[in-house]
């Protein structure tokens, strides 16, 4: 591109828009906005069913018990810690400390796996020991359906994030992602922080309110 004085102006680099934002980031932000609208629709449906007059919707304490809510609160804390670990991955990468970035990424992946493990344990307990008693007591049949839809849809996102981060971890170990590829980690971080934020909303709506 030539300026009026005849000099050559440098255009955007490969994969980069004129504002300095990579196409990958634009793509991820676009996906996250659409995904957020999907979650918003599901949460709105959950709220509509729950707060309908005479809906016979169980209170969280009746559905999950004190221990169940405390266990899910611990699981929420673990997911938040994994999101903090993801911040450290990018920080260490920018400093060029790829060994430390790799360890923090392993912590992020570990947090995601623990979250999924606890959620699987919770689902098993609720299916075998709890929800059938609620239905026999006359509570709304939509409660377990919306619960499994919300938590299952989010759990699928966590599983995808674990796989995504594992692929990046392998790329770091093979030297294909270095300190010069911060955009790769930033995009993965956007997804992981989104998953964390959505879970805080789901936890609040389903387990606390």
Cα-to-chain-centroid distance, residue 137: 34
* Number of helical H runs and strand E runs in the chain: 6, 0
**Token couple for 22:** 């990579």
Q: Is the pLDDT of residue 188 over 70?
A: yes
Q: Where are the beta strands (DSSP E) in the chain?
A: none
Predicted local confidence at residue 2, as pLDDT: 41
Predicted local confidence at residue 6, as pLDDT: 46
**Token couple for 59:** 């209170």
Count of residues for the chain? 209
pLDDT digits (tens, 9 = 90+) for 38-61: 999 999 999 999 999 888 999 999
DSSP per-residue string spanning 20-86: S-BHHHHHHHHHHHHHHHHHHHHHHHHHHHHTSTT--PPPHHHHHHHHHHHHHHHHHHHHHHHHHHH
**Token couple for 36:** 């957020």
- Angstrom distance (rounded) from CA 74 to CA 132: 25
- What is the pLDDT confidence band of residue 20, given thresholds at 50, 70 and 90? low
What is this structure's pTM?
0.88
H or E element: which one contains 8?
A: none
Residue labelled with tokens 């409660």? 143
Q: Is the pLDDT of residue 13 over 80?
A: no
Predicted local confidence at residue 70, as pLDDT: 96
> Span 168-181, mean pLDDT?
94
pLDDT digits (tens, 9 = 90+) for 141-168: 899 999 999 999 999 999 999 999 999 9
Percentage of the chain modeled with pLDDT above 90: 81
Q: What would you measure as the largest C-alpha separation in the chain, in angstroms?
A: 81
Structural domains of the chain sorted by starting position, each given as residue range(s) with its CATH number in brackets: 23-208 (1.20.120.80)
Q: Is the pLDDT of residue 8 over 60?
A: no
- Angstrom distance (rounded) from CA 182 to CA 12: 17
- What is the pLDDT confidence band of residue 11, given thresholds at 50, 70 and 90? very low
Query: For the chain, what is the radius of gyration of the CA atoms?
Result: 22
Q: Is the pLDDT of residue 10 over 50?
A: no
Q: Are 82 and 67 in contact (CB under 8 A)?
A: no
Predicted local confidence at residue 19, as pLDDT: 56
> Span 203-208, mean pLDDT?
94
Task: List 8's β-bridge partners, or say none.
Answer: 2
């Amino acid at each position: 591109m030539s300026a009026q004085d005849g000099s050559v102006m440098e255009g955007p680099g490969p994969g980069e828009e004129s504002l300095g934002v990579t196409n990958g980031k634009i793509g991820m932000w676009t996906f996250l906005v659409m995904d957020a609208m999907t979650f918003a629709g599901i949460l709105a449906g959950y709220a509509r069913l729950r707060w309908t007059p005479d809906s016979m919707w169980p209170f969280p304490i009746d559905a999950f018990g004190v221990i169940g809510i405390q266990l899910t609160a611990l699981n929420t804390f673990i997911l938040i810690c994994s999101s903090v670990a993801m911040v450290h991955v990018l920080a260490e990468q920018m400093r060029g400390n790829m060994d430390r970035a790799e360890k923090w990424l392993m912590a992020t992946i570990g947090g995601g796996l623990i979250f999924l493990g606890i959620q699987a344990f919770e689902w098993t307990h609720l299916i075998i020991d709890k929800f059938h008693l609620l239905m026999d007591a006359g509570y709304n049949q939509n409660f377990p359906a919306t619960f499994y839809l919300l938590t299952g849809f989010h759990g699928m996102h966590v599983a995808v994030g674990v796989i995504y981060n594992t692929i990046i971890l392998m790329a770091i170990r093979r030297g294909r992602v270095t300190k010069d590829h911060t955009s790769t980690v930033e995009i993965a971080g956007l997804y992981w922080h989104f998953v964390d934020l959505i879970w805080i909303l789901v936890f609040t709506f389903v387990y606390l309110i």
